[in-house]
Structure 1
Amino acid sequence: MIPSTATIALVLAVLSLAQYAFLATAAGPRVIIVGAGMSGISAGKRLSEAGITDLLILEATDHVGGRMHKQNFAGINVEVGANWVEGVNGGKMNPIWPIVNSTLKLRNFRSDFDYLAQNVYKENGGLYDQDYVQKRLDQADKAEESGKKLSGTLPASGSNDMSILAMQRLYDHQPNGPEMPVDMALDYYKFDYELAEPPRVSSMQNCVPLPTFSDFGDDTYFVADQRGYESVVYHLAGQYLKTDKSGKIVDPRLKLNKVVREISYSPNGVTVKTEDNSVYQADYVMVSASLGVLQSDLIQFKPQLPAWKVVAIYKFDMAVYTKIFVKFPKKFWPEGKGREFFLYASSRRGYYVVWQEFEKQYPDANVLLVTVTDEESRRIEQQSDNQTKAEIMEVLRKMFPGKDVPDATDILVPRWWSDRFYKGTFSNWPIGVSRYEYDQLRAPVGRVYFTGEHTSEHYNGYVHGAYLAGIDSAEILINCAQKKMCKYHVQGKYD
């Protein structure tokens, strides 16, 4: 039967209405999000909640999660990036904690550092006297407490800020900071182990005290779940991206292995080009690439970002924090209550200082974790894993001279600094950077918006900081796209 002209017209009208209805439901601006780490996924979720659902997420790697990433090592999944929920059991609720502990029920363990004084090893073996170490630790804590009080009296502009080292000179009366091996080890544990950079670099006003612990509590919980800490990011993504029955994201709005190389922007929109020569257009772009990537030449902006933006990007530090996992055929280190963390007091500051054993987290795995940062991280990334293994074996045999210390059978050395998609692990506030530069770092440039842990006003460097930054940056975009409130106010440096 041949349809009549009237029937054809009716069908076309219905199709037209259907198409109009589809466009109505997809109404709103098109937004490209660069990066599917915590901030990018968090920003996408907030945009979706506000009705901005025409999204495209371009991720350079083959997975979601960014610097929250598990890797199989010695038969277990370990976290090569973020590992702790930091800031728990305080006055405010850390937004990551209920997702980890209640919603997903990821295996986690409170990290107990209270016994550290009994676990500090001399450079050539044997333990320091516990009371002696505790006195040195108390002295360092006292100087830090004085620094906290001083921080509270300084103007918010940062005009009177000083380095943590200057604070130590002021209250500890050590002109060069801690110099004895035991003091250097304790100093490294207190600051470098948290900030990934030494006290001579880090801002006292922004780091003493750390808002993460002042706001959310002093407790930290180590996530040791075979599903991976990245499950939190997948959980958030699954609230607005389509998934299959297994939880795998199958939404076409997420594209993996898409390396963004160029972002062109004008008053009319943005164009994003990827390494495979794909071209995508949108009304806005949200860049959640790491600070290290922004400081590199991976992504070219056309036109170039204004000078004030470039200067702000380069003023902040992209620190390097390297967690080295080492597998042994048997255990030779102490176990039991209070033995999880131990320090090596080398005369060379930062040389394989902080160690962790996994009696509770990974029973019978025979794995140790040693953390290095900053220049040691960069040095180690440039040498072979065999060389790193040899250095670690030398240190362990010095620490335990009376033990049968077997050769390590495997080693995992993450290389965040060398990875062009990250160029480091997390940002740090150096001396001389204030809220003014932070506002500039977070500020949009035309239709280009920025997010990431480095744009978190109080919690840079942390998972919850990345999560909250995604929400905050999305709100800035929503205000412009939906409310036409596009002017972003940067308060004067000395206001």
Structure 2
Amino acid sequence: MLEMKPSKGVVLLLLAVVAQYASMATAAGPKVIIVGAGMSGISAGKRLSEAGITDLVILEATERIGGRIHKTKFAGLNVEMGANWVEGVNGDEMNPIWTMANGTGGLNLRTFRSDFDHLAKNTYKQDGGLYEEEFVEKIIERMEEVEEDGSKLAGTLHHSGQQDMSVMAMQRLNDHVPSGPSTPVDMVVDYFQHDFEFAEPPRVTSLQNTQPLPTFDNFGDDVYFVADQRGYESVVYHVAGQYLRTDRKSGTIIDPRLKLNTVVREITYFPSGVAVRTEDSKVYRADYVVVSTSLGVLQTDLIRFKPKLPSWKIVSIYQFDMAVYTKIFIKFPKRFWPEGPGTEFFLHASERRGYYPVWQQFEKQYPGSNVLLVTVTDDESRRIEQQPDSETMAEAVEVLKKMFPGENVPDATEILVPRWWSNRFFKGTFSNWPIGVNRYEYDLIRAPVGRVYFTGEHTSEKYNGYVHGAYLAGIDSADILIDCAKKKVCKYNVKGKHD
């Protein structure tokens, strides 16, 4: 149980803060302020509304809702800059996002099952041409054997996380490329298996918390690519529309409780309430605040907390990784890549790990668009974000020209490079499980501090990094607040690391 005994200095500081904001605390104001209108913030608002807490204000830094679920116009299409798949479908349990996107009574979004079964015959040498299918298939099969052994090993480790190890350490234990993948094919298969999912390499990813993954264990192994011109964000609008007033014709949210382009810079909390100050020096007052910003934002000084958050909270925030996953869309004047069944995804086996590695063509999703998608992550993402798009386009086209030496590969005409890491309102794309953490650290990162509550995909113990994780985390965090506000059960229990 988290019970912090304040020092004399903290008590004096709190008294000063209470005096400074006395008028704010007694003034009429919304019951709850939600900071951030991404999936978790919108989901939390819906849950609070269902519990009768409708005196809300949602402060969103950008000009839209949806957060890291965001469509944008590119080459005459609406494409997804962030989340693009419903991950975990056709299993024993129903993924709540799939229910909304394509379930009975849902939005019936245009979705396509992603088929990753043909990578062995679609792996290209960096100097041109395809590797032998049988050669790549053996590497993939060995990788899958090692993954199965890793899942078995993970199940034997103590739940405290003390015996946890990196995925790479597990690979070495299984005599799987003991020095780490070193050949181009080993590296790109390893990258596809791990970085393409977690946006960080196996050497920093937890074995215990990623093998097996609850998302696929519970919801099913299938993933569906959202290619609907309404955008994946229509799922967030679907949730928001259940409690925020919306214009029926346009679908625009017209509820005055949603404040867009409102950047929160300071949250002051005291025993009787909270005061939230924005960049334009406005102050919003409430009984509680729910912070749904990304983990990356929490790890910066965009929002200052007064008093400073306790050390246990700060440490929990910094223990988790904010990864970067970059989907680069490139438009060409003509197609030069293979099409037809079994060609949707293809790999570039470079001597430089993670260099324009995973490609996707859109024969089914965007017919006739002549658009390719290449995914990069981590250090490559940060590097690419800091260079001009023209340079990135030149690099990508050069890779393709070498991969397809027999084709007349034209220069690209357009490119879209999302910059999630550079954006001060996101600072990355999703959280990744570090080594050695367990439920204890997740309870700490989700735990309220006084009247300040926290939510976001990074607070989802089972499904961090996923859209369904953000949605379910919003519900979980709202329930914690409801227990306090409505039932007066305000102590948040955190089991010990070894309990």
TM-score range, shorter chain: over 0.9
Asked whether 1:277 is paired with 2:281, we answer yes
Alpha-carbon separation, structure 2, partners of 1:316 and 1:243: 36
Tell me the residue number matched to 2:366. Answer: 362
Alpha-carbon separation, structure 2, partners of 1:121 and 1:245: 49
Amino acid at match of 1:148: S
Task: Using the TM superposition, give the Cα deviation of residue 491 of structure 1 relative to its aligned residue in structure 2, in angstroms.
Answer: 1.0
Tell me the residue number matched to 1:41. Answer: 42
Query: Which of these residues, 145, 149, 153, is aligned with residue 146 of structure 1?
Result: 149
Asked whether 1:187 is paired with 2:190, we answer yes
SS at match of 2:174: helix
What TM-score results when the alignment is normalised by the length of structure 2?
A: 0.93
**Structure-to-structure mapping, 1:478-493, within 5 angstroms:** 478-493=482-497
Tell me the residue number matched to 1:86. Answer: 87
Tell me the residue number matched to 2:96. Answer: 95
Alpha-carbon separation, structure 2, partners of 1:228 and 1:172: 44
Query: Which of these residues, 225, 239, 242, is aligned with residue 242 of structure 2?
Result: 239
SS at match of 2:156: coil
Task: Using the TM superposition, give the Cα deviation of residue 92 of structure 1 relative to its aligned residue in structure 2, in angstroms.
Answer: 0.6
Tell me the residue number matched to 1:400. Answer: 404
Query: Which of these residues, 120, 125, 129, is aligned with residue 126 of structure 1?
Result: 129
Task: Using the TM superposition, give the Cα deviation of residue 354 of structure 1 relative to its aligned residue in structure 2, in angstroms.
Answer: 0.2
Asked whether 1:220 is paired with 2:217, we answer no
SS at match of 2:265: strand
Tell me the residue number matched to 1:5. Answer: none
Tell me the residue number matched to 1:438. Answer: 442
Alpha-carbon separation, structure 2, partners of 1:346 and 1:309: 41
Amino acid at match of 2:238: H
- Contact 2:30/2:285, CA 8 A, preserved across alignment: no
Which of the pair has more CA radius of gyration? 1
Alpha-carbon separation, structure 1, partners of 2:30 and 2:387: 48
SS at match of 2:478: helix
What TM-score results when the alignment is normalised by the length of structure 1?
A: 0.94
Task: Using the TM superposition, give the Cα deviation of residue 28 of structure 1 relative to its aligned residue in structure 2, in angstroms.
Answer: 11
Instruction: String of CA shifts for 1:82-136, please: whole Å, max 9, x gaps.
Output: 0000000011100000111131111000000011111000111110111111110
Alpha-carbon separation, structure 2, partners of 1:252 and 1:486: 29
Amino acid at match of 1:153: T
Tell me the residue number matched to 2:7. Answer: none
Asked whether 1:428 is paired with 2:428, we answer no
Alpha-carbon separation, structure 2, partners of 1:358 and 1:173: 34
Query: Which of these residues, 159, 167, 172, is aligned with residue 169 of structure 1?
Result: 172
Deviates more, 1:411-420 or 1:145-154: 145-154
Alpha-carbon separation, structure 2, partners of 1:348 and 1:245: 51
- Contact 1:181/1:345, CA 8 A, preserved across alignment: yes
- Contact 2:290/2:454, CA 8 A, preserved across alignment: yes
Alpha-carbon separation, structure 2, partners of 1:370 and 1:74: 16
Asked whether 1:313 is paired with 2:317, we answer yes
Tell me the residue number matched to 1:160. Answer: 163
Q: Identity of aligned pairs, percent?
A: 74
- Contact 1:159/1:494, CA 8 A, preserved across alignment: no
**Superposition misfits of 4+ residues, deviation over 3 angstroms:** none
Instruction: String of CA shifts for 1:360-417, please: whole Å, max 9, x gaps.
Output: 0000100000000000000000000011011101100110000000000000000000
Amino acid at match of 2:261: N
Asked whether 1:419 is paired with 2:423, we answer yes
Task: Using the TM superposition, give the Cα deviation of residue 478 of structure 1 relative to its aligned residue in structure 2, in angstroms.
Answer: 0.3
SS at match of 1:152: helix
Task: Using the TM superposition, give the Cα deviation of residue 433 of structure 1 relative to its aligned residue in structure 2, in angstroms.
Answer: 2.0
Instruction: String of CA shifts for 1:427-455, please: whole Å, max 9, x gaps.
Output: 00111222211110000000000000000
Amino acid at match of 1:301: F
Please tell me the root mean square deviation across aligned C-alpha atoms, in Å.
1.0
SS at match of 2:144: helix
Alpha-carbon separation, structure 1, partners of 2:399 and 2:115: 24
- Contact 1:28/1:52, CA 8 A, preserved across alignment: no
